[in-house]
């Protein structure tokens, strides 16, 4: 009997490996595939069939772990947020901050870094889920606590990047959400108007706003 590609993929790692390891691996493959499908196809066109094909697992194995599209995409939302929380600060960024000649240059480096995060695949996958959650109460209920945890972690990461001197300035707490919300809103326009984010006209304005608030 000839195996299907998905069945063959399921069977290859089975020899000599604990069931728990195989389950974790297949779950991770399915969740990674769900994120890929969200990015490529959008929420409306993402289906359990397309995710199964992308993951290369059998239908039975996937449905054993996720009984519906909603359950799977809720898990994918947590998967996206967990990956963002666990991502380390790139060494190159740490070096740029360390080499900054003063607080003004440090602000510029951090603003560039923040803006870059809104171009990452994880942002667009999360955006698909945010928009879908407006009319999907189950999805919204799952995303809400995860988004709050992610928000706290991002704020802490941002504080680390700016450093204690700038964080201690009186206008730091008010300016922090201004940068976040302005960048997020601007990034959404790239969904229908693709362009080089490095040439974004608002980028220099964000730096100037931050410098004025934190250094004036």
pLDDT of residue 83: 79
Number of C-alpha atoms within 13 angstroms, CB side, residue 133? 18
Domains, in order of start, for the chain: 5-67 (1.10.10), 89-215 (no CATH)
pLDDT at 115: 93
Give me the pLDDT at residue 12, please. Answer: 45
Radius of gyration of the chain (CA): 21
Quick one: pLDDT band at residue 84, thresholds 50, 70, 90? confident
What's the predicted TM-score (pTM) here?
0.79
Q: Where residue 61 falls among pLDDT bands split at 50, 70, 90?
A: confident
- % of the chain exceeding 90 in pLDDT: 51
Phi, psi of 55 (to 5 degrees): -75, -25
Q: Which of 16, 18, 17, 14 is nearest to 57 (CA)?
A: 14
Identify which of 180, 179, 184 has the alpha carbon closest to the alpha carbon of residue 210: 179
Residue scoring higher pLDDT (88 or 4)? 88
Read off the pLDDT band of 196 (50, 70, 90): very high
Res 116 pLDDT > 70: yes
Indicate whether 92 pLDDT > 80: no
Q: Which position has the higher pLDDT, 87 or 69?
A: 69
pLDDT digits 0-9 by tens, 14-40: 555 677 777 788 899 999 999 999 999
Q: For residues 201 and 186, give the distance between their C-alpha atoms in angstroms, rounded to a whole number.
A: 10
Mean pLDDT in residue range 169-182: 96
Which range in 59-63, 74-78, 108-112 is most confidently predicted, on average pLDDT?
108-112
Report d(CA 214, CA 166) in Å as an integer: 6
pLDDT value of position 46: 93
DSSP state of 88: P
Report which of residues 50 and 18 the model is more confident about.
50
């Amino acid at each position: 009997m000839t195996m299907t590609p998905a069945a063959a993929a399921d069977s290859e790692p089975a020899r000599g490996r604990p069931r728990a390891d195989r389950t974790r691996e297949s779950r991770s493959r399915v969740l990674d595939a769900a994120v890929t499908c969200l990015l490529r196809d959008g929420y409306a066109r993402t289906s359990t069939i397309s995710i199964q094909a992308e993951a290369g697992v059998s239908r039975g194995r996937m449905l054993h772990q996720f009984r519906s599209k909603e359950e799977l995409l809720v898990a994918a939302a947590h998967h996206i947020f967990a990956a963002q929380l666990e991502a380390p600060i790139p060494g190159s960024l740490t070096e740029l901050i360390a080499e900054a000649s003063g607080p003004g240059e440090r602000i510029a480096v951090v603003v560039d870094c923040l803006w870059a995060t809104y171009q990452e695949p994880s942002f667009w996958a999360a955006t698909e889920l945010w928009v879908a959650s407006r009319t999907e109460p189950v999805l919204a209920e799952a995303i809400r606590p995860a988004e709050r945890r992610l928000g706290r972690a991002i704020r802490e990461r941002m504080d680390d990047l700016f450093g204690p001197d700038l964080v201690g300035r009186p206008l730091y707490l008010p300016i922090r959400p201004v940068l976040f919300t302005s960048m997020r809103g601007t990034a959404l326009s790239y969904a229908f108007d693709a362009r080089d984010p490095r040439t974004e006209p608002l980028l220099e304005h964000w730096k100037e706003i931050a410098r004025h608030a934190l250094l004036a």
